Structure 1
């Protein structure tokens, strides 16, 4: 897990959120773990590299 973290707020349909949380629970994984993996996969898919734990580039938002 990353040493430093930043909060990301996502607005989704309440029923979709409930279904997502239920599915995560049945797989014994947290929703945060799934979202972090989705983000890593998305960055890799688009060829974006990053250094875990490194400071974000200047001008980026936390």
Structure 2
């Protein structure tokens, strides 16, 4: 499981941000939870031959945002 956090800042169109946050709220998720889930999925799909930690690829370990 991830032990530390790091801040990532990026710019996004305000309308996209508003729509994204509304959709997240409808699903009872924070935007951070969704972004972390998308990042994990992207890493796994595009890691190639890179060795990834088990907590990142394992399906039996529940993540901090409730996604398996």
Q: Name the TM-score class by shorter chain.
A: 0.7 to 0.9
- Runs of 5+ in structure 1 lacking a partner? 53-62
TM superposition shift of 1:3: 2.8
How much is the aligned-residue C-alpha RMSD, in angstroms?
1.9
- 1:6 corresponds to: 6
- Runs of 5+ in structure 2 lacking a partner? 56-68
- Pairs aligned (count): 52
Normalised TM-score (structure 1): 0.72
- 1:35 corresponds to: 35
Q: Which structure 2 residues correspond to residues 1-62 of structure 1 after superposition, within 5 A?
A: 2-47=2-47, 48=50, 49-50=52-53
Structure 1 stretches (4+) deviating beyond 6 angstroms?
Answer: none
